[in-house]
Amino acid sequence: MSLFNVDLPKTLRERAEHSITQLRAAVSEYKNVCYANSLGSESMVLTDLIWEAVPEIEIFSIDTGRLYPETYDLIERVQQRYGRALRIYYPEAAEVEQWVGENGINGFRDGLEQRRGCCAMRKVGPFRRAIAGRGAWVTGIRRGQSASRALAAPVEWDREYGLHKVSPLLDWSETEIWDYIRKKRLPYNSLHDSGFPSIGCAPCTRAVQPGDDARSGRWWWERADSRECGLHPRRKIPAVAVAALGGAQR
């Protein structure tokens, strides 16, 4: 079901077309482009845009080994819908064995250093392998997700990983994401229907109450300003910008 044979509202169609234009420009400019699919709601939109309109972008996901069963089910449903396979990257077995041996099976709960160590081993390591040799990577971040993400640009040089970072959904609202998913009947993680706006590893994600910050269910035992996995390092937010954005850095 392509973008062009579904009755999308005009504003949503324009959003989608603009995102496709950004994706095509990235391919034209950086050639070897990949999309790091986090399997959240934004990812379902981006997967649809890419596989329908810009299929030369390779889509990959990272299986940390600690995902929810519902997330594995989603991977299957996505692949069945499009008749294509996501490339899945895994952590190095030897690194997992060593880390668990030194820190314990749930050692990421013991402190920020341990949690970041687990994310580095299970997420960042496979991510570095996935982007090696690429000209740009695509992300599904939106400005509305946090004060830090509100300051992102559609195309940025990612100093941490040494390639360009393209964010074609930056200006989409959460409502628009879900309108697109429903209009196009896209698959999505069933946990979203149970109070999970943002879904990561099972032991580090929980449901939130209606109206709560969308990312408050991730690493909820930590201070709010540390809750990123390492793929999107937090920006330092000037106080004046925090005020303009309507609250504390999330």
**Residue 199 touches ligand SF4, criterion: CB under 6 A:** no
Q: Which of residues 67-106 bind ligand SF4 (CB under 6 A)?
A: none
User: How are beta strands 33-36 and 136-138 bridged, if at all?
Assistant: parallel
Q: Which is nearer to ligand SF4, 204 or 245 (CB)?
A: 204
Whether the Cβ atoms of residue 205 and residue 66 lie closer than 8 Å to each other: no
- For residue 88, give both structure tokens: 């899945």
Task: Give the residue with the Cβ less far from ligand SF4, 108 or 172.
Answer: 108
- Confirm if 111 and 138 have CB atoms less than 8 A apart: no
Amino acid identity for residue 209 in this structure: Q
Residue choice 19, 41, 61, 64 for contact with ligand SF4 (CB under 6 A): 64
* Nearest distance from C-beta of residue 246 to ligand SF4, angstroms: 28
CB of 139 to ligand SF4, least distance (A): 17
Helices (H), the chain: 10-30, 41-53, 69-82, 93-103, 112-119, 125-131, 147-150, 174-183, 239-245
Specify whether 229 is catalytic.
Answer: yes
Q: Which of 12, 53, 141, 201 binds ligand SF4 (CB under 6 A)?
A: 201
Does position 237 interact with ligand SF4 (CB under 6 A)? The reply is: no
- Residue nearest ligand SF4, CB atom distance: 201
Tokens linked to 32:
């070897």
Structural Rg of the chain based on CA atoms: 18
Residues 107-126, interacting with ligand SF4 (CB under 6 A) = 108, 115, 118-119, 122-123
Number of residues that bind ligand SF4 (CB under 6 A): 13
Q: Is 204 in the site for ligand SF4 (CB under 6 A)?
A: yes
CB 213, CB 149: distance < 8 Å: no
Report the C-alpha gap between 136 and 33 in whole angstroms.
5
Catalytic residues: 229
By CB under 6 A, name the binding residues for ligand SF4: 64, 66, 108, 115, 118-119, 122-123, 200-201, 203-204, 229
